[in-house]
Amino acid sequence: MLILLDTANLEKIKRLNDLYPLDGVTTNPSIIAKEDKDFLELLAEIRNIIGEDKMLHAQVLSTKAEEMIEEAEFLAKKFGENLYIKIPVIPEGIKAIKNLSKQGVKITATAVFTPQQAFMAAKAGADFVAPYVNRLDNISADGIKVVVEIIELFKVHRLDTKVIAASFKNINQIHQCLLQGSQAVTANPDLIEKLVYHPMTNLGVEGFIADWERVYGEGKKVN
Ligand code: E4P
C-alpha cells in the first residue's frame, strides 16, 4: 500500500516526508503552477528532498500523442528511474501510453472518471491509473464505487496495473479507498496530516506528561 503526497510545495514536502511513511510525490500542472517557480528546477528540488528511491509523478501538457511522447521522454531522461509520467486518458493519451509503455517508461494514467477509461489505460500498458474520487463525488457520481469497480476489473482480467486513488477532500474518502483495496492513494498535505491527527490523542499525551512531571519533575525523561 502506497501513500503519496499530492503537492509541489517544498516546505510541505520536507516536513511530511520527514514525519510520515510516504512513498513519493505526485504533481499535476495546476499543483506545479501554484508554486510559480521554474518547473524543472522545482521537480529537481522535489527529487532531491525525497531521494531517488521514492516515486515522483509529473504530468505532460500536450494533447497530441507524438508531443506527449516527446515530453515524457524528455522528463524520463532528466529524472530517471522512479519517475512516473502522468498522461490524461484522452484518446491521444491512450495512444501515447501504448507507445511509452513499450519503451519501458513508467506511466500513471490520470484524470480517470470511469472504470472503462481505467481499463483502456491498463490495457495500453499504464502502471497506475488515477481515478478522481472527489471530482466524481462533486458531479453526483460515486467516486468510491468507480475505484471499487476498477479494482474488480483489474482482478477479473488479471491486469497488473495498480490504482492510485486521487482527488480527495476528506479522510473518509481516503479511508474507503484503502478499505476497498486501492493499492495507492495520493492526497494533499492537509489530508495526510489529518490521517494522523486526533484531539483525544493529543489530550492523552498532555495528560501522560503532566502526571509524570508531577512526580519526577519537569523535563525528566526515561533515559
Ligand atoms: C492526481 O492525480 C490529481 O492531480 C489530483 O489528486 C487532483 O486533485 P483535485 O481534484 O483536488 O485537484
Q: What ipTM was reported for this prediction?
A: 0.96
Quote the pLDDT of residue 179.
98
CA 108 to ligand 1 center in whole angstroms: 13
As given in the structure block, the three cell numbers for residue 220 are: 525528566
**CA-closest residue to ligand 1 atom 7:** 167
CA 171 to ligand 1 center in whole angstroms: 14
Average confidence (pLDDT) over 93-118: 98
**CA-closest residue to ligand 1 atom 1:** 166
**CA-closest residue to ligand 1 atom 6:** 167
Containing H/E element for 131?
A: strand 128-131
Domains and CATH numbers, the chain: 2-189 (3.20.20.70)
Q: Which of 86, 98, 106, 162 is catalytic?
A: 86
As given in the structure block, the three cell numbers for residue 197 are: 491527527
pLDDT at 81 over 90: no
Q: How high is the mean pLDDT of the chain?
A: 97
CA 218 – CA 139 distance, rounded (Å):
54
Quote the pLDDT of residue 166.
98
Task: Kindly give the pairing relationship between strand 2-6 and strand 128-131.
Answer: unpaired
Average confidence (pLDDT) over 32-59: 97
As given in the structure block, the three cell numbers for residue 61 are: 501538457
Average confidence (pLDDT) over 53-74: 98
Task: Label residue 161 by pLDDT band (50, 70, 90).
Answer: very high
CA 52 to ligand 1 center in whole angstroms: 23
Average confidence (pLDDT) over 133-140: 98
Angle, CA 128 vertex, CA 126 and CA 134 arms, to 5°: 130
Task: Label residue 200 by pLDDT band (50, 70, 90).
Answer: very high
Q: Phi and psi dihedrals of 85, rounded to 5? A: -90, 120
Average confidence (pLDDT) over 42-48: 97
Task: Label residue 80 by pLDDT band (50, 70, 90).
Answer: confident
pTM of the model as a whole: 0.96
7 lines ligand 1 (CB under 6 A): no
- Asked if 205 contacts 212 with a C-beta cutoff of 8 angstroms, the reply is no
Angle, CA 165 vertex, CA 162 and CA 167 arms, to 5°: 155
Quote the pLDDT of residue 145.
98
Task: Label residue 157 by pLDDT band (50, 70, 90).
Answer: very high
Cell 531517488: give the residue.
Answer: 52
Nearest atom, ligand 1, residue 111 CA: 2
Taking every pair of Cα atoms in the chain, the longest distance, rounded to a whole number of angstroms, is 71
| Active-site residue flag, 169 | no
